[in-house]
């Protein structure tokens, strides 16, 4: 079977038996677990545990999906299973995120050990084109095979977060912020993620798109039904199918072209086979049957010819994080998450968020980590006029 195959399995809701049957179907459509992992390997299940969040908020991988993957592996005879992720929120430990999301309960149910995501060390990767080393969690380094169980969501910097972006949780703790400082643009960050994939080499990607997140993702958006699970060994192809389902050009998502350039997958729809329980379908047919063309995601980009004419107004044109003073509680998490040493946002001890946009690198870590949905990406009226959204 071609490595660019994406299995799409419809499933409405998180009923455990139905989700389990959907996982079994998806893996079968790809040729079975034996195509990806061996019984004697130490297998790491890596969900999206961005922060300590309840399952219904659609911030994290739903525990029913995680549990179904675990149950399917156990049934197939895989005994050495571990799980883990490193949350992006500096105030949230891996244990707390696993507890609140319901992942830990499922892990204990199936006897899955917690991998070490509290500590790590530098792993050199001289082959990287953008990143030459990564501070990887110990649990990632100790695993023989990694299965990524990602979440279908929007993302301020990369437009979407899916299979390619989910691997950033392999980076240990506060080192995530350093990565945003080193690779501040969406394109550079995506190139780094492509190198990370080549370094870690995950075997399989499973996307929880039963309830996705649109709008102000990846933590402050709106849950929305998509009713699908996606499976593939090709993270770029999987994210490309996600894009097609929401009528978004994958070329506008930095992680897709970056991944294609690095050779971790394809974003060419003609090279991607989409298989379902009812047979193979085209991307257009998948969008027709399972898509949501009005999915709330940023779609446009400024026309470059006009940008050049308006270069003196670039600070006004740039997207930037903005805090809603009515929602902000002055918790200080945005300041703690900011990767800029001098801190582009100041908050804490009840003092509400204040930005210094001269320091801001537009990485949106503050927006991503805000626990009360007070921060969004502001786009000026002139920007909208030039971009056409």
The DSSP annotation for 80-140 comes to -EEE----S-TT--HHHHHHHHTHHHHHHHTTPEEP--S-EEEEE-TT-SS-SEEEEEHHH
**pTM, rounded to two decimals:** 0.92
Question: Confidence class of residue 354 from pLDDT cuts 50, 70 and 90?
Answer: very high
Query: Are 134 and 119 spatial neighbours (Cβ–Cβ below 8 Å)?
Result: no
Question: Confidence class of residue 2 from pLDDT cuts 50, 70 and 90?
Answer: low
Residue owning tokens 């005994």: 79
Q: Packing angle between helix 186-200 and helix 255-262, nearest 10 degrees?
A: 40
Tell me the C-alpha distance between 329 and 274, whole Å: 45
Classify residue 127 by its DSSP letter: T
Question: Confidence class of residue 303 from pLDDT cuts 50, 70 and 90?
Answer: very low
Quote the longest CA-to-CA distance of the chain.
63
Tell me the C-alpha distance between 26 and 383, whole Å: 42
Pairing verdict, β 273-276 and 5-10? parallel
Percent of the chain scored above 70 by pLDDT?
Answer: 92
Q: Which of 59, 150, 46, 161 is nearest to 100 (CA)?
A: 59
Mean pLDDT within 330-354: 95
pLDDT score for 304 = 45
Query: Are 190 and 103 spatial neighbours (Cβ–Cβ below 8 Å)?
Result: no
Q: For residue 218, say if its preceding peptide bond is cis, omega within 30 degrees of 0.
A: yes
Percent of the chain scored above 90 by pLDDT?
Answer: 87
Mean pLDDT within 293-321: 66
Cα four-point dihedral sign 158, 151, 11, 81: positive
User: Which residue has better confidence, 66 or 173?
Assistant: 66
pLDDT score for 130 = 97
Query: Are 209 and 246 spatial neighbours (Cβ–Cβ below 8 Å)?
Result: no
pLDDT at 312 over 70: no
**Helix, strand, coil abundance in the chain, percent, nearest 5:** 40, 20, 40
Query: Are 4 and 273 spatial neighbours (Cβ–Cβ below 8 Å)?
Result: yes
Tell me the C-alpha distance between 339 and 168, whole Å: 15
Query: In which element (H, E) is residue 286 found?
Result: helix 283-290
């Amino acid at each position: 079977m071609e490595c660019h195959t994406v299995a799409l399995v419809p499933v409405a809701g998180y009923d455990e038996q139905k989700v389990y049957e959907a996982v079994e179907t998806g893996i079968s459509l790809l040729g079975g677990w034996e195509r990806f992992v061996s019984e004697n390997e130490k297998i790491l299940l890596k969900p999206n545990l961005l922060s300590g969040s309840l399952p219904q908020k659609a911030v994290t991988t739903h525990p029913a999906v995680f549990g179904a993957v675990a149950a399917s592996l156990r049934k197939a005879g895989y005994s050495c299973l571990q799980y883990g992720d490193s949350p992006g929120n500096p105030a949230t430990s891996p244990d707390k995120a696993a507890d609140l999301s319901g992942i830990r309960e499922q892990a204990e149910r199936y006897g899955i050990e917690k991998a070490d995501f509290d500590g790590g060390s530098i792993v050199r990767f001289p082959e990287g084109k953008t990143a030459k080393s990564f501070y990887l969690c110990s649990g990632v380094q100790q695993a023989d095979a990694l299965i990524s169980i990602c979440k279908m969501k929007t993302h301020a910097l990369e437009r979407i977060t899916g299979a390619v972006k989910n691997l950033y949780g392999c980076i240990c703790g506060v080192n995530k912020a350093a990565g945003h400082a080193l690779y501040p643009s969406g394109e550079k960050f995506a190139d780094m993620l492509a190198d990370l994939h080549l370094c870690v080499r995950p075997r399989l990607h499973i996307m929880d798109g039963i309830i996705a997140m649109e709008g102000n993702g990846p933590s402050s958006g709106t849950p929305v039904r998509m009713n699908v699970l996606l499976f593939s060994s090709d993270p770029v192809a999987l994210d490309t199918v996600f894009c097609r389902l929401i009528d978004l050009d994958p070329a506008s998502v930095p992680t897709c072209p970056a991944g294609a350039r690095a050779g971790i997958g394809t974003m060419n729809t003609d090279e991607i086979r989409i298989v379902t329980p009812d047979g193979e379908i085209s991307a257009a047919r998948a969008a027709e049957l399972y898509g949501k063309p009005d999915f709330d995601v940023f779609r446009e980009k400024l026309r470059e010819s006009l940008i050049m004419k308006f270069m003196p107004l670039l600070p006004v044109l740039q997207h930037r994080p903005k805090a809603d003073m009515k929602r902000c509680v002055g918790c200080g998490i945005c300041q703690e998450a900011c990767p800029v040493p001098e801190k582009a946002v100041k908050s804490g001890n009840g003092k509400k968020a204040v930005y210094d946009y001269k320091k801001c690198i537009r990485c949106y870590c503050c927006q991503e980590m805000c626990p009360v949905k007070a921060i969004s990406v502001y786009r000026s009226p002139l920007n909208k006029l030039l971009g056409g959204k």
